Amino acid sequence: METHQQQKRDQQIHYKQIGQYQLIKEIGNGQFARVYYTRSVDPENTQEYAIKTFQINRLKPENQDQIDKEINILLKLNHPNIIKFYEYKKTQNNVYLIFEYCELGDLENYMKKYHDGRFPISFAQKVMNQISKAFKEVRRLKIVHRDLKLANILINKDLIVKLSDFGFAKHFEENILLQSYCGTPITMAPEILKRQQYNEKCDIWSLGVILYQMIFGKLPFQPPKGANIIDLINIIDKGKVQFDNLALIPQDVIELIEKMLDVNVQKRMSFQEFFEYPWINVKESVEEIKTKQNKALRFVQKYIFQSLREDITKFKKFLNETKVIIQNITNDQDNSFAKNCAWASLLILLLKTVKNMQNGLELVLFTNEETYEYIKAPFPKEIQDSLKEECKEIGKNIEKIECDNTELQKNSDAYNMLFICLLHYADFQLINEYLKGFDFLSKTRCIFKYI
């Protein structure tokens, strides 16, 4: 999440270009790396990217080796629920890793920003289902992640979850134990915290912590402020995971978390059990998905668009009545301010709507607000065409907009009509663009909402 200082710095700094990639703004940073939102300089390439940059002179030899290993693993991974890695570039001073861009950021910030710090159980289920699919690929390639946390799971605008940050990942053969101490302590398996040997089940533990966080909005083992690793180990060793609001949590979810957060590695759930667990392994047939979408689309067509057509009819009636009033005003050739003002009010009434229509405005209907399932439907063409024609017709009546703001004109009927239109329909940026001469507009911020 961007800070005010970071936003201010982005406005002041002109970020450089890396090959075909133009760095736009910084969206994250860590001990050794910075991440930038990036677009291609090729106008035909509308793809958005995230570039992770490392300054070579700030890296220790082991850090450089870690980056090389991460690149090697990323090149092998190709799955819809794993962050897509496009390429890497290396210069004398920097290393650049180019990834797909996830508009909604990481799950930690997304959960705080849009869900008040915790997900509905049904949404957490959708997330874990997608993570399990990613891990089927991770396990197929015999990789252990070792740094799983909400901040290392990204989400895009279509609510597709992407496993990311393979900086501590390692190829791992079955029946061989690992002993490197790495990861984030708060989500780290107890055997790693104790610097014991461990296997792929360390990732199961971390996923259990993530699932608990998503549902309860807190960590299952929360050390007090100022606590150290030993304190965290003691808290975990003491005991059992506590569940709030037990009556509201399905029993199979409680059992799943308990099995994933078993301190005893031998008893802890395996990945195969994780993949096959009914609550996670939710399958919805293609026919069921299509049936849901068809029902939603029929609802849109029958109710939403029909209502919209009726509103458009009323809207056009209003336009016609207003045109008559304006024509009567413009018969008075001496009142050029009123004439221009009146026609401008109608143009402003349509500007934002038509602009959105031309940009392919879509209606988004949530079929399930709890799980954020939705269907998109483009506005009917006849509605778009109707508004475009109205805009063209009114535009012909406006050659230029000039005004001399006197107290007398401020009290005119045309001025009042314009102000009312602005208040209800106008878009602040469009007002600035089309009516820069009006001083009072600098204090007016309105958003046009047709539906």
Q: Which parts are annotated binding residues? A: 52
Q: How far out from the chain centre does Cα 239 lie?
A: 37
Distances in whole angstroms, Cα of residue 85 to Cα of each of 76, 78, 153: 10, 8, 15
State the residue for tokens 């995971």.
241
How many C-beta atoms lie closer than 10 Å to residue 427's C-beta? 21
Q: Which of 106, 147, 203, 427 is catalytic?
A: 147
Phi, then psi, of 78 in degrees rounded to 5: -150, 95
Do residues 232 and 221 make contact, with C-beta atoms less than 8 angstroms apart? yes
Point out the annotated binding site for ATP. 52
CA dihedral of 247, 253, 255, 258, whole degrees rounded to 10: -100
Contact yes or no for 153/210 (Cβ under 8 A): yes
Q: How far apart are CA 59 and CA 65, in angstroms?
A: 10
β-bridge mates for residue 89, sequence order: 96
The stretches of 261-380 forming alpha helices (DSSP H) are: 271-276, 286-299, 305-330, 336-358
Rg over alpha carbons for the chain, rounded to the nearest Å, is 29
Secondary element (H or E) of residue 414: helix 413-425
Q: Which residues contact 143 (CB under 8 A, 6 or more apart)?
A: 73, 77, 166, 169, 170, 171, 172
Q: CA–CA distance from 22 to each of 25, 41, 52, 62, 301 (Å)? A: 9, 6, 13, 30, 42
Read off the DSSP letter of residue 372.
T
The counts of H helices and E strands in the chain are 16, 12
Q: Do 96 and 53 contact (CB within 8 A), yes or no?
A: yes
Cβ atoms of residues 68 and 56 within 8 Å: no
Please confirm, yes or no, whether 65 is among the known catalytic residues: no
**DSSP for 243-292, written as a single string:** -SSGGGS-HHHHHHHHHHT-SSTTTSPPHHHHHH-TTTS----HHHHHHH
Q: Is 328 helix (H, G, I), strand (E, B) or coil?
A: helix
The values of phi and psi at residue 382, to 5°, are -65, -30
Q: Which are the catalytic amino acids?
A: 147
